């Protein structure tokens, strides 16, 4: 009952929230260490995702004052998923279990205890699942829930109402490291790893300072990323659409032949133009979807690194635990 816990927190321009987040996490970690639930070698690992504000200097200062805080500085902004992966892969070498959470502490850190209990009870992955979305605006709630429904309709296996607040054991992280994909959608990949899983419910609060780093545009891009990296259903839909249109065209052909025998062969300009437009647009649409996938294949074949670490702060250059 004395495993090493790392809490991984990706941070992008989080100077307003970091000092408070660090304080709350420190209290939590100290409680857990004192009660003997986790090892004193446990750490909070902040990943600076190429922020242009004071985020990294703040992390440096926190680390200098207390080696409970360690840090990873990415060479540039790579987005939440890649920053999180960088943190997870760094923590994998040092920890027995890793919990990932956002810097704004919207995810209730009270759920950490229960996650750790489930880990000791034999779970390798524990998902934090929101019990309600009352705090969210109607718009965010509607878009987020539609997203989960669309994902499951499209055949992508994700956990309903689970964001990236989860506990993962060392061996699950080793499993995750074997997924080499560049188009990263962790929520979809983690369930593919397997092992025993558990769920902890929590209330999601509001961001206590600063503003969301996920505006609508990023959210839509994230949803598209999720669907195209996990599912090939859109490609199957094109085939289905092709069959449907083929069936309709056969019916039309029969209709025209009958009309021809009946002597009603009036040149139908409108129907010709309509079908030219309809079929043209469908072809374009299909090409677009296929192009999306080819784009992904192109990126995957390049096998680019998903993140590059500039610097890691661990115990060497700190004044020790206080």
Closest to ligand UDP by CB, 54 or 77: 77
Q: How far apart are CA 153 and CA 149, in angstroms?
A: 6
- Locus of tokens 């970091």: 18
Using CB under 6 A as the binding rule, whether residue 79 contacts ligand UDP is answered as yes
The site partner of 213 among ligand UDP, Mg ion, none (C-beta below 5 to 8 Å per kind) is ligand UDP
Which listed range, 11-19, 223-231, 280-288, 309-317, lies at the site for ligand UDP (CB under 6 A)? Answer: 11-19
Give, as ranges, the residues between 139 and 178 that touch ligand UDP (CB under 6 A).
Answer: none
Q: Residue from 147, 214, 222, 256 that binds ligand UDP (CB under 6 A)?
A: 214
Backbone angles phi, psi at 58, to 5 degrees: -65, -45
Taking a C-beta distance cutoff of 8 angstroms, is the pair 101, 9 a contact?
Answer: yes
Q: How far is the CB of 219 from ligand UDP (least distance, A)?
A: 7
Q: Which of 184, 186, 213, 227 binds ligand UDP (CB under 6 A)?
A: 213
Strand (E) positions, 180-284? 197-202
**Among 5, 7, 8, 11, interactor with ligand UDP by CB under 6 A:** 11
Contact present, 17 and 103 (Cβ < 8 Å) = yes
Three-state SS for 3?
A: strand
In terms of Cα–Cα distance, which of 44, 53, 54, 125 is closest to 90? Answer: 44
Closer CB to ligand UDP, 132 or 265, in the complex = 132
- 12 versus 56: smaller Cβ distance to ligand UDP: 12
Beta bridge partners of 97: 5, 169
Among residues 3, 39, 54, 77, which is the contact residue for ligand UDP, using CB under 6 A?
A: 77
Q: Is 212 among the residues that bind ligand UDP (CB under 6 A)?
A: yes
Q: Identify the CA nearest to 127 among candidates 180, 195, 65.
A: 195
Interacting residue with ligand UDP among 83, 95, 109, 223 (CB under 6 A)? 83
Q: Residues 203 to 262: which contact Mg ion by CB under 5 A? A: 207
Q: Which lies closer to ligand UDP via its Cβ, residue 224 or residue 278?
A: 224
Kindly write out the interface string for residues 90-109 of this chain, putting x where it contacts Mg ion by CB under 5 A and - elsewhere. ------------x-x-x---
**Least distance from Mg ion to the Cβ atom of residue 153, Å:** 26
Q: Among 70, 106, 158, 228, which residue interacts with ligand UDP (rule: CB under 6 A)? A: 106
Q: How far is the CB of 50 from ligand UDP (least distance, A)?
A: 8
Residue 104 CB partners (closer than 8 Å, separation 6+): 14, 17, 21, 207, 208, 209, 210
Which residue bears the tokens 């083929």?
Answer: 246
Stretch that binds ligand UDP, among 4-12, 128-136, 167-175, 313-321 (CB under 6 A): 4-12
* Burial tier of 194 (Cβ tally within 10 Å: 0-12, 13-18, 19+): exposed
How buried is 258 (Cβ within 10 angstroms: 0-12 exposed, 13-18 middle, 19+ buried)? exposed
List own/partner pairs for 63-66 with CB under 8 A and 24 or more apart. Answer: 63/313, 63/317, 63/318, 64/317, 64/318, 64/319, 65/318, 65/319, 65/322, 66/26, 66/318, 66/319, 66/321, 66/322
As measured in angstroms, the least distance from the Cβ of 8 to ligand UDP is: 10
Residue 12 binds to ligand UDP (criterion: CB under 6 A)? yes
The answer to whether the beta carbons of residues 241 and 282 sit under 8 Å apart is: yes
Binding residues for ligand UDP, per CB under 6 A? 10-12, 14, 49, 77, 79-80, 83, 102-104, 106, 207, 212-214
Binding residues for Mg ion, per CB under 5 A? 102, 104, 106, 207
């Amino acid at each position: 009952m004395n495993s090493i816990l790392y809490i991984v927190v990706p941070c992008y321009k989080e100077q307003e929230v970091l000092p408070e987040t660090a304080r709350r996490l420190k209290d939590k970690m100290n409680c857990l260490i004192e009660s003997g639930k986790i090892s004193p070698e446990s750490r909070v690992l902040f990943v600076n995702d190429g922020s242009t504000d004071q985020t990294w200097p703040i992390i440096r200062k926190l680390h200098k004052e207390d080696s409970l805080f360690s840090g990873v500085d990415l060479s540039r902004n790579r987005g939440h998923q890649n920053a999180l992966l960088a943190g997870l892969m760094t923590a994998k070498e040092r920890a027995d279990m890793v919990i990932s959470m956002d810097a704004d502490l919207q995810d209730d850190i009270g759920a950490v205890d229960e996650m750790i209990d489930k880990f000791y009870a034999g779970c390798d992955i524990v998902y934090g699942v929101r019990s309600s979305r009352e705090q969210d605006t109607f718009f965010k709630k509607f878009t987020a829930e539609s997203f989960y429904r669309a994902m499951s309709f499209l055949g992508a296996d994700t956990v309903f109402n689970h964001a990236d607040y989860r506990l993962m054991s060392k061996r699950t992280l080793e499993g995750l490291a074997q997924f080499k994909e560049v188009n990263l959608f962790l929520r979809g990949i983690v369930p593919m790893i397997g092992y025993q899983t558990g769920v902890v419910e929590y209330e999601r609060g509001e961001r206590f300072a600063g503003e969301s780093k996920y505006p609508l545009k990023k959210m839509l891009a994230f949803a598209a990323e999720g669907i195209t990296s996990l599912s090939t259903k859109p490609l199957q839909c094109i085939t289905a659409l092709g069959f449907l249109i083929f069936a309709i065209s056969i019916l039309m052909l029969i209709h025209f032949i009958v009309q021809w025998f009946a002597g009603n062969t009036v040149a139908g300009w409108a129907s010709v133009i309509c079908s030219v437009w309809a079929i043209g647009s469908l072809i374009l649409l299909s090409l677009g979807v296929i192009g999306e996938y080819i784009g992904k294949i192109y990126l995957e074949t390049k096998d680019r690194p998903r993140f590059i670490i500039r610097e890691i702060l661990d115990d060497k250059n700190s004044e020790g635990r206080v």
